[in-house]
Structure 1
């Protein structure tokens, strides 16, 4: 079983989190059956951007990285406290542990910023939210990341993306890396994203 830890900060974007639960869930039931997703946060209850409440299955201080194959981090809203959680040392340390173990780290939009701040993307390619004058891309660059203005960037084990519109693509890339291209095509077909 390929286990994915969905790391949520307060203020996370529910849509960006849901693509991982849906794509990997479809695979668990309709694909090769090898993926499982586990939600994790720094609090017993989390509030997403715009007020959607979630109770994570695990607390961040109980995670054993050896029990997981990948880390998924949706972006979030500054106004709803995303960076307050995502820039905590405990959050950044978990990112480093996954990277040090050579495990996949998949991020959407500003989910790349804590990855950059953790130091694991230094001198590597990445991207993040690209609108509003490129403010978030400048922040990512300040962490030593070679920012590429493209929708999705894969640099070794780390996947970053530029906006919520890329969310499904990131989830499918992660599924393909964890299973196979053929299995990923099957899930896309079953979900109605491509023909046979």
Structure 2
């Protein structure tokens, strides 16, 4: 198994503004202290963007860690404003790289060969260095990093459908969607009464000490296909994100019919958080064992399923062709269990 070190605000790209917008994002939990880090024990380094690189680039300890990865030739993947840290660590001299366009002057001054991004999803590889422009390019960015680590993906080329709606949870659609693209799948996102190219606003749900989750605005998520006339037989699997969308999508008979068609065909279905409200309404949980966000337990039990307690909240379960999860912190299990049903593997 490869080991990677990761050195949140929330950025969007409204068409009417000259730069990105910013709102508060998810709380991200650290799993180690910086002083514990021994760069020699890791196989790769990822540097996220945002505003953090502006001050991390001024930290001598951070720069020392980055230089150790650079001189060892280990893969480094840096995105958006993360390249400020690479420039400060003197790790881009003579290297071809890209970044969020505003970072160009710094990279040029640091001796990099600037590559103009063709779009906000562009990525560039030069030796052990992978650079990307924004989160829009995550599928290619992560795919390139997996390759640099020696990873080989097999069993890909699956066709996956995402059942979307306004105010679905941002992470619960974005992360699995891009993860499956990384794995080489063709992924479509549809929403009733919306067309290809339309967007769904999303919501950020967090656990901040209140009796229930908090909610903040998320990204606008772009749909890739029209819901009307969708041919479910052409897809190998279905993903149902959570958030607030499932409670009203469960009232749509065309949604219920779509879910039933996947279950009757025995195709893999992965549903997370409140997504199980749709499964319950579709009557496909009878005799199944599954979990969900704890507040959805009533829907699951009344739907005829055996309730599995999500303790801790990142627990996910597979029963036959069904993968269920409680919330976005369970994405590693959620995606890996869905991969297993689809027959997709990543080997190193």
Task: Give the gaps of 5 or more residues in structure 1.
Answer: 29-34, 187-195
Distance in 2, Cα, partners of 1:168 & 1:152? 9
Would you say the 8 A contact 1:25–1:37 is kept in 2?
yes
The alignment of Structure 1 onto Structure 2 pairs a total of residues equal to: 171
Is residue 2:262 matched to residue 1:102? no
Q: Flag the 1:17–1:138 CA change in 2: closer, same or farther, 3 A.
A: same
Q: Deviations over 1:96-134 (max 9, x none)?
A: 00011110100111112211211111121111102xxxx
Residue of structure 1 in register with 2:190 after alignment: 40
Residue of structure 1 in register with 2:178 after alignment: 22
Distance in 1, Cα, partners of 2:305 & 2:340? 25
Would you say the 8 A contact 1:127–1:137 is kept in 2?
yes
Distance in 1, Cα, partners of 2:226 & 2:331? 24
1:3 deviates by 0.2
Residue of structure 2 in register with 1:171 after alignment: 335
Distance in 1, Cα, partners of 2:341 & 2:261? 19
Q: Which has the higher helix share?
A: 1
Greater CA deviation, 94-103 or 16-25? 16-25
Greater CA deviation, 11-20 or 53-62? 53-62
Would you say the 8 A contact 1:105–1:158 is kept in 2?
yes
1:82 deviates by 4.1
**Residue of structure 2 aligned with 1:10, choices 166, 169, 189:** 166
Would you say the 8 A contact 2:274–2:293 is kept in 1?
yes
Residue of structure 1 in register with 2:254 after alignment: 90
Task: Give the gaps of 5 or more residues in structure 2.
Answer: 1-156, 204-216
Q: Flag the 1:98–1:64 CA change in 2: closer, same or farther, 3 A.
A: same
Distance in 1, Cα, partners of 2:246 & 2:167? 5
TM-score, normalised to structure 2's length?
0.46
Q: Deviations over 1:43-89 (max 9, x none)?
A: 32322122532331222222111110000011012xxx541224311
Within 5 Å, give how 1:88-167 maps onto structure 2: 88-130=252-294, 135-150=295-310, 151-167=315-331
Q: Which has the higher strand share?
A: 2
**Residue of structure 2 aligned with 1:70, choices 237, 245, 266:** 237
Distance in 1, Cα, partners of 2:290 & 2:325? 8
Structure exhibiting the larger radius of gyration computed from Cα positions: 2
Which one scores higher on RCO, CA 8 angstroms, separation ≥ 6? Answer: 1
Distance in 2, Cα, partners of 1:120 & 1:146? 12
Would you say the 8 A contact 1:19–1:171 is kept in 2?
no
